[in-house]
Structure 1
Amino acid sequence: MTLAYDITGTGPTAVLLHSTVCDRRMWDPQRQALADSGLRVVRCDFRGYGETPAGDAPYRDADDVLDLLDALGVEQAALVGASYGGRAALALAARAPHRVSALALLCPALPGEEPSARLTEYDRRETELFEAEDFAGAAQLNAEVWLGPEADAATRAAVAEMQLNAFRRQLAATEEHDGAEDIDISALAAVHAPALAVSGAHDMPDFRAPAARLPELLPRAVHRELPWAGHLPSLERPSEITGLLTDFLH
């Protein structure tokens, strides 16, 4: 399957990987500015998100991203991942470190963590809404839970719309598959690309802790916590994150 994607600009390639609460449109505030800074910006939709159908065969999202890089003739790229997109970036880097020139990970997830009480309660509420077939309500819940206090009403509405679109695509699939994979944590020691791990002070501990831990796992990683941020800082203070990414990727 070919992922839906778009390309903006010319220069070294930066691939933007979205959260599972969103799709590639979450990077609308950053796309043009990063391209104007001299980067070739590639955005893609994972299977079951945005314009990419869910499909019916087992798959791994990191493999899909590698296939996209191969199709575009890109030998090496910077990976910018938000939440699950950060986990997919780490999975790709662990298996193919030579393909990664830099890692910018915003509130990334790592497998194997015991869920916090906050995450467990969120899962319970979303499950109740799904069982009631209130998919619009579930999408709204995600916008409320995953955006921090800086997000405005328009941003919350946009996230809810992206999430509802994902629900519809995934419900249309004849079989349910999860493109996530376990990450060989020990393999991250071979990833020598510079890495920036960002966490938000208003986010769940399930994402703050992995970001803070990454400098122990990646040889060239630094961690930065944003005191104002929730789980999706690129949408909460777009211009600040655009500047942060521009500085790091250059």
Structure 2
Amino acid sequence: MTISYDVVGDGPPILLVHAGVADRRMWRQQVPELARTHQVITPDLRGYGETPVAPKYSDAGDILDLLDHLNLSQVHAVGASYGGYVVQQAASRRPELFTRLVLLCAPTDNVQPDDGIRAVWAEENNLLEAGDIEGAAALTVQHFIGPEADDSARTLLHHMQKRAYELQLPAGDVDNEEYPVTPETLTMPVRLVTGAHDFQIFADSATHLQDRLPNPERIDLPWAGHLPTLERPTEALQLIL
């Protein structure tokens, strides 16, 4: 395999795909409990954690290749933020592989970013152009994790985002092929989770999917920001289980 991943536990397989501001370490408080009853698969997408960037690739294609590499015919899948978008792409491409989806604060096709997140992206770009990686990582912590997170979660997020910058910035422009998301073909149960302290695009994406998925369930968390598994790890575990 060309992406790094861990597999622990035994039982029905469950795939955990990390957020675009994190890497597979974001699941570290959920994996031990999940591994008591499941085979837990946690990859690092390209440009995150222990997986380097490639000039041309597909995140969703890498996930499908990983499942084939592990000889899995069916899997439960959980995706956080951008990882949830990757899961949607993979499941749209090969829906027979996926028995259940949990999408945590995930974007989707045909939903536009709100002004708030655009402003954060613009500030991030300015910091990175100035060479201030530490400042850009601190900006991520400021805006992409909710008020319930403790200091250890905030520190972990800072480390994960900084690591992503260290991998991605030297690589320059890359070609990441994205597969179209077709909600109407995703007939498996899909749980949509949103946070009241998150950016509007993610609530809008959940609404867009809820209106089009054959079998959706939506849970809106009044306490959550963008990364509920880091903010309230035990409570977020129940959303997965």
TM-score range, shorter chain: over 0.9
Counterpart pick for 1:230 among 225, 229, 233: 225
What letter is aligned with 1:208? Answer: A
Contact kept, 8 Å, 1:86 with 1:106, in 2: the verdict is yes
Deviations 1:92-114 (A, max 9, x none): 11111001111000001113322
Contact kept, 8 Å, 1:148 with 1:203, in 2: the verdict is yes
Moved beyond 4 Å, runs of 4+: none
What letter is aligned with 1:82? Answer: A
Counterpart pick for 1:122 among 100, 114, 120: 120
Where do 5+ consecutive residues of structure 2 fail to align?
A: none
Structure 1 residues 239 and 39: alpha-carbon distance in aligned structure 2, compared to 1, 3 A threshold: same
% identity of equivalent residues: 42
Q: 1:135-174 counterparts in 2 under 5 A?
A: 135-173=133-171
Greater Cα shift, 208-217 or 146-155: 208-217
What letter is aligned with 1:195? Answer: V
With normalisation by structure 1, the TM-score equals 0.93
Contact kept, 8 Å, 1:111 with 1:182, in 2: the verdict is no
Deviations 1:153-180 (A, max 9, x none): 221111011000011011232x422536
Partner of 1:59: 57
Contact kept, 8 Å, 1:26 with 1:235, in 2: the verdict is yes
Q: Give, in whole Å, the separation in 1 of the partners of 2:154 and 2:49.
A: 17
Where do 5+ consecutive residues of structure 1 fail to align?
A: none
Deviations 1:211-244 (A, max 9, x none): 1332222111111100000000000000001122
Q: Give, in whole Å, the separation in 2 of the partners of 1:208 and 1:223.
A: 10
Structure 1 residues 171 and 41: alpha-carbon distance in aligned structure 2, compared to 1, 3 A threshold: same
Q: Output the aligned Cα RMSD.
A: 1.3
With normalisation by structure 2, the TM-score equals 0.96
Contact kept, 8 Å, 2:111 with 2:208, in 1: the verdict is no
Superposed displacement of residue 137, structure 1: 0.7
Q: How many residues align?
A: 241
Check if 1:183 corresponds to 2:189: no
